Amino acid sequence: GAVVSQHPSWVICKSGTSVKIECRSLDFQATTMFWYRQFPKQSLMLMATSNEGSKATYEQGVEKDKFLINHASLTLSTLTVTSAHPEDSSFYICSVTGETDTQYFGPGTRLTVL
């Protein structure tokens, strides 16, 4: 299967700053990438779906201006949390699919906003 990495694995930032999280597909042409958010003891919630070279599709209730997604290449997608606030503290996980529809998950990024 695909190897998916995320960077950073853990980030702490001050309220009001922006944070960028990278998702890389190391050995796989990821035509579609997904971003999930997972609050403690809760399930993964899909935030958005992005296809390479096109705008991301956001799920209902997810602010596109706050969570900026860029899927610039077949191996990289970034999620930028703009003007982060403590309620944005969560575990952010990306996944990728390619020619098959199997989703391969990254290890996740823990964001803590002070």
Query: Which whole-number Å values give the CA distances from 92 to 23, 83, 89, in the listed order?
Result: 10, 16, 9
Can residue 27 be called a binding residue for other proteins (CB under 8 A)?
no
Q: Extract the tokens encoding 6.
A: 């995320």
Can residue 102 be called a binding residue for other proteins (CB under 8 A)?
yes
Site size toward other proteins (CB under 8 A) is 22
Can residue 106 be called a binding residue for other proteins (CB under 8 A)?
yes
Can residue 52 be called a binding residue for other proteins (CB under 8 A)?
no
Per DSSP (E only), the strands in 52-103 are 57-58, 67-73, 76-81, 90-97
**Environment class of 60 (CB within 10 Å of its CB; exposed 0-12, middle 13-18, buried 19+):** exposed
Nearer to other proteins, 31 or 89 (CB): 31
Nearer to other proteins, 36 or 113 (CB): 36
State the nearest-atom distance from the C-beta of 94 to other proteins, in Å.
10
As a whole number of angstroms, the distance between CA 26 and CA 28 comes to 6
Can residue 74 be called a binding residue for other proteins (CB under 8 A)?
no
Among 14, 40, 43, 65, binds other proteins (CB under 8 A): 43
Can residue 101 be called a binding residue for other proteins (CB under 8 A)?
yes
Cis before 8 (ω within 30): yes
State the nearest-atom distance from the C-beta of 34 to other proteins, in Å.
6
